[in-house]
Amino acid sequence: MDQPGYDYHIDIPGTTIFDGKMAMKGYALNKMCYSFNKAENRDAFAADEEGYMAKYGLNEGQKQAIRDRNILKMIEEGGNIYYLAKFAGIFKLSVQDVGGMQTGKTTEEFKEFLASQA
Amino acid sequence: MATVLGGITTSHIPAVGNAIQKELYDDPYWKPFFDGYPKVHAWIQEHKPDYVINIYNDHGLGFFLDRMPTFAIGAAHEYKNEDEGWGLPSLDPFPGAPELSWHIIESMVADHFDITSCQELAVDHGFVVPMQLFWPGAPNNPDMPKAVPISANTVQHPIPTLARALDFGKALGKALRSFPEDAKIVILGTGGLSHQLDGARAGFINKDFDQYCLENIVSNPEELTKVTRMELVEKAGAQGTEFLMWMMMRGALGDEVNEITRNYHIPISNTAAGTLLLECAA
């Protein structure tokens, strides 16, 4: 879905603007992650990841990103961080863990980076 | 008629809920953050508001992308939290104030703000953490006011403009002051300040921009309406757009306010944490 002639956004390096286009692209992935609000759904995913992804209709790129635990790829595939955070919750990952995973830092390095901006 | 006492802003980071549960108030990491709250507690003790308008942004609990309201107002008798995917503790329900909710909705729609009304609304950390910070033990605090949650969309662009957020607050203030009950109301604006959770720029914090926002929101909020939404993403980070809640709160307070207390600390979790208590000038 592109709307030629309209540029709603500016380019911000390292930042994906989650707009209608991304929301459409990532709908299935985000819907699956939204389901993880419920413990029984987290358990169902853990018991059969492939079956659970198929049930929500994820495309192959989204499935592979989930299999690889690749947060940047999930975002590229339309994932929104607020829903992806619930996926991360299954693995007890903190937002510093997730920050490190996206920036090529260890969790400790990422925490130091945060503190360095004080 | 009801009186608007003032407004309180705070970051609403989920990790704060854990820190409260573990009582880490004097922990070296947490102390500079929790030190921002005693003056707020004293002010609340002194004034004992009857109602709290809790302006927050849902993060994927109350709403999904199937239907995403730009501005939603709770109109329920009570509001429950959930574990949000992280095993957060389930609290007792927060008491609502549907009669005030519907008064606000009537007034806001008459003033051309198109509202989504919610008779059921699961409230997430954006709503819960500030309540726990301001009313220790919430909702089981004897002074716990009845609540009206208001959620603005910052999940999916297009999000509201800063000007719209401020205007929303002005209309909200008008609605509250026309509520036919001799009641005291406090307004929370939760979220922020600068932070970004996602992408290669994750971890971005911008102290200069936060200070600019903190300065202007007190005395010159109109100045902040010049900031475009894309500038807000660029300068405050992708999730720093939560500053819109502060603008909504500020609009409801009227032109003249007294700053009672302010705190700013980097970092709490991935966020520059800000707290501000503004009292409406008599």
For chain A, which residues make up each domain, given as ranges? 20-91
Distance from CA of B228 to the nearest CA of A (A): 11
ipTM score assigned to the predicted complex: 0.95
Mean pLDDT, all residues of chain A: 94
| Residue numbers in B near A1 (CB within 8 A) | none
Check if A116 contacts B (Cβ < 8 Å): no
CB spacing of B199 vs A72 below 8 angstroms: yes
Check if A78 contacts B (Cβ < 8 Å): no
Residue-range domains of chain B with CATH: 3-280 (3.40.830.10)
Give residue A1's pLDDT band: very low, low, confident or very high (50, 70, 90). low
Give residue A8's pLDDT band: very low, low, confident or very high (50, 70, 90). confident
pLDDT > 80? residue A7: no
Please write the tens of the pLDDT for every residue from A66-100: 999 999 999 999 999 999 999 999 999 999 999 99
Give me the pLDDT at residue A51, please: 98
What CATH number is given for A20-91 in this structure? 1.10.700.10
Per the structure block, which two tokens stand in for B81?
């939290």
Distance from CA of B274 to the nearest CA of A (A): 13
Please write the tens of the pLDDT for every residue from B188-231: 999 999 999 999 999 999 999 999 999 999 999 999 999 999 99
Check if A83 contacts B (Cβ < 8 Å): yes
- Pick from B59, B200, B269: which is nearest to A14 by CB? B200
